[in-house]
Amino acid sequence: MQRGALLDAARSLLSEGGTEALTFPALAERTGLARSSVYEYFRSRAAVVEELCAVDFPVWAAEIEAAMERAESPEAKIEAYVRSQLGLVGDRRHRAVVAISASELDAGAREKIRAAHGGLVAMIVEALAALGQAEPRLAAMLLQGVVDAAVRRIELGAAEDPEVVTEAAVAMALRGVGG
């Protein structure tokens, strides 16, 4: 129960103030625990972040997969893949993960995050193959690059409305740079 409260507090801190806000004193204050108690659950900020990814990423991936399963055509699956990821940008679980600086994580944690992202990419390979992509895995990785760029654009609070960014990303995914 306290581990869950610590993770919930970490999500809030990361989404509100980025990695600088995620400190053990702040976690202790948010949860009402002693600072020493926080160390009983996590050895470092990186360990908190790693567990957040381990807990939240599968839920996020399941939401994307469910959206894709509801889609009936390969094009609709691709659209659902893009829209569902971009729709999660406002979710504090996503904001927490985006706020994480990869340099703060050890190699093992970075590899786990890469593997989780690889699972996302794998979801879309079949739809791309059905559309006749000669290299569906490569196309999936490039498509994820478009999604990642759109996520960063939305997260930065760019001049465009998030819906405009989403529509542009969907158009690029479905029609390429030709619009």
Tell whether 85 and 154 lie within a shared domain.
yes
Tell whether 138 and 80 lie within a shared domain.
yes
CATH of the domain at 38: 1.10.10.60
Torsion of CA 148, 149, 153, 159, to 10 degrees: -150
Tell whether 32 and 58 lie within a shared domain.
no
d(CA 13, CA 19): 8
Tally: H helices and E strands in the chain? 9, 0
pLDDT at 18: 72
Tell whether 147 and 109 lie within a shared domain.
yes
pLDDT at 111: 77
Tell whether 107 and 59 lie within a shared domain.
yes
Domain count, the chain: 2
Tell whether 59 and 107 lie within a shared domain.
yes
pLDDT by residue for the chain (179 residues), tens only, comes to: 789 999 999 988 887 877 778 899 999 999 999 989 999 999 988 888 888 888 888 888 899 999 999 999 999 999 999 999 999 886 666 665 665 544 456 677 677 777 777 788 888 999 999 999 999 999 999 999 999 899 888 877 767 888 999 999 999 999 986 65
The CA-CA-CA angle for residues 134, 140, 146, to 5°, reads: 125
Tell whether 73 and 37 lie within a shared domain.
no
Tell whether 141 and 163 lie within a shared domain.
yes
Tell whether 72 and 29 lie within a shared domain.
no
Tell whether 60 and 124 lie within a shared domain.
yes
Tell whether 8 and 91 lie within a shared domain.
no
The DSSP element (H or E) to which 150 belongs, if any, is helix 136-155
**Beta carbons of 96 and 45 less than 8 angstroms apart:** no
Query: Of all residues in the chain, what percent are helix, strand and coil, respectively (each to 5)?
Result: 85, 0, 15
Tell whether 3 and 69 lie within a shared domain.
no
CATH of the domain at 128: 1.10.357.10
Range of the domain at 74: 45-177
